[in-house]
Amino acid sequence: YLKFNRPPHLKINWPQDFTKNSVEISGITDPESTVKINDSLVIVDANGNFKKSLEISTSEAKIVVEAKSPAGVVTKDEKVLK
């Protein structure tokens, strides 16, 4: 019961910089969670790993990563990449 209602674990491997027009965001969460990066659903594997490449069109990009447990509890992290 406690595991069901707690927020999912979320660890993000933030890129150090981005010089090209894309950046890869990856990390790990609870395997049963769903992950969205900038409101786009990302596939989580059986071990909880996820990754997604994002197109960056400006010199500054706000990235929002959200993990949601099956109970609807959310863990959220965001960063502005420059």
DSSP one-letter code for 32:
T
Predicted pLDDT at 20: 75
- pTM > 0.85: yes
Question: Which of 33, 26, 31 has the alpha carbon at shortest distance from 75?
Answer: 33
82 pLDDT band (50/70/90 cuts)? Answer: confident
pLDDT of residue 81: 84
pLDDT (tens digit per residue) in 30-72: 999 999 999 999 999 999 999 999 988 877 889 999 999 999 9
Tell me what the mean pLDDT of segment 65-81 comes to. Answer: 95
